[in-house]
């Protein structure tokens, strides 16, 4: 895939020139599983819908919902188009996670802000069949290294429902810092839900790539 340099829309805030879209990232989990992160494409429709359908019960308690009961779900083509528009503008990095050539989840960087903040948020899910293999922590690490190293962001934030033990394990393994409770923060599974905020800054990493940090924090000598 050809990468093109892109200067995002300046209407919201000035963006650094290193923003790249489309982007493709590859790497290995600490136990050697190969991952690819890439944009969602129109011909992913069947795989995407099948995976979401098969994992509906697994994802429902953690999926964002609309507070407007009259909202209709977007069609797949609209979703792909919206992702493209937002990514081209430098506001979002919407990626799918592939393992063994199969689409197994998503990792979505959103709320990308430049200027003096240079921060973003992360959302993610993986199929139940792939859970527990460090797929998502590795995907977050690969994207974090891209955002800190190439794009020039300074801070990455993840918000998690206090009940979501599996997602809390993800931020623990990556050494994100807890930043406290955000009451009624996001509309999830049909209601406004409290979230715990976690963040990682360039300073937290002390020059260590986030993927190396993950390997260290999940290795035999991990805390």
Ligand X SMILES: CC(C)(COP(=O)(O)OP(=O)(O)OC[C@H]1O[C@@H](n2cnc3c(N)ncnc32)[C@H](O)[C@@H]1OP(=O)(O)O)[C@@H](O)C(=O)NCCC(=O)NCCS
Positions that interact with ligand X (CB under 6 A): 58-59, 62, 124-126, 131-137, 160, 164-167, 169-170, 173
Q: What whole-number distance in Å separates Cα of residue 129 and Cα of residue 61?
A: 17
Name the residue nearer to ligand X (CB basis): 76 or 185.
185
Name the residue nearer to ligand X (CB basis): 20 or 217.
217
Name the residue nearer to ligand X (CB basis): 99 or 112.
99
> What single string gives the DSSP state of each residue in the chain?
----B----SSSS---TT-BSS--EEEE-TT--EEEEEE--GGGHHHHHHHHHHTHHHHGGGSB--S-TTPPPPPHHHHHHHHHHHHHTTS-EEEEEEETTEEEEEEEEEEEE-TTT-EEEEEEEE-GGGTTSSHHHHHHHHHHHHIIIII---EEEEEE-TT-HHHHHHHHHHTPEEEEEEEEEEEETTEEEEEEEEEEEHHHHTT--HHHHHHHHHSTT--
- Give the nearest distance from C-beta 158 to ligand X in angstroms: 7
- Give the nearest distance from C-beta 8 to ligand X in angstroms: 26
- Give the nearest distance from C-beta 112 to ligand X in angstroms: 18
- Give the nearest distance from C-beta 139 to ligand X in angstroms: 8
Name the residue nearer to ligand X (CB basis): 48 or 125.
125
- The torsion of the CA quartet 195, 198, 92, 128, rounded to 10 degrees, works out to -70
Name the residue nearer to ligand X (CB basis): 3 or 64.
64
Take residue 214 and report the two structure tokens written for it. 């993950």
- Give the nearest distance from C-beta 67 to ligand X in angstroms: 18
Name the residue nearer to ligand X (CB basis): 132 or 149.
132
- Give the nearest distance from C-beta 74 to ligand X in angstroms: 19
């Amino acid at each position: 895939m050809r990468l093109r340099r892109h200067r995002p829309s300046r209407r919201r805030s000035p963006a650094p020139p290193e923003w790249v879209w489309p982007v493709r990232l590859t790497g290995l989990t600490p136990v050697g599983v190969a991952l690819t992160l890439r944009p969602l494409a129109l011909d992913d429709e069947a795989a995407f819908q099948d995976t979401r359908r098969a994992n509906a019960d697994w994802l429902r308690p953690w999926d964002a919902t609309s507070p407007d009961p009259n909202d209709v779900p977007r069609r797949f083509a609209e979703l792909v188009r919206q992702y493209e528009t937002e990514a081209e503008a430098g506001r979002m990095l919407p990626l799918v996670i592939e393992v063994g050539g199969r689409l197994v989840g998503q990792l979505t960087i959103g709320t990308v802000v430049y200027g003096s903040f240079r921060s973003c948020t992360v959302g993610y899910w993986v199929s139940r069949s792939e859970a527990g293999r460090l797929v998502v922590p590795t995907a977050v690490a690969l994207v974090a290294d891209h955002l800190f190293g190439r794009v020039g962001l300074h801070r990455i934030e993840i918000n998690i429902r206090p009940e979501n033990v599996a997602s809390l394990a993800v931020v623990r393994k990556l050494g994100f810092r807890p930043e406290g409770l955000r009451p009624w923060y996001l509309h999830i599974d049909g209601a406004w839900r409290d979230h715990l905020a976690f963040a990682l800054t360039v300073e937290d990493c002390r020059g260590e790539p986030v993927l190396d940090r993950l390997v260290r924090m999940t290795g035999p000598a991990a805390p």
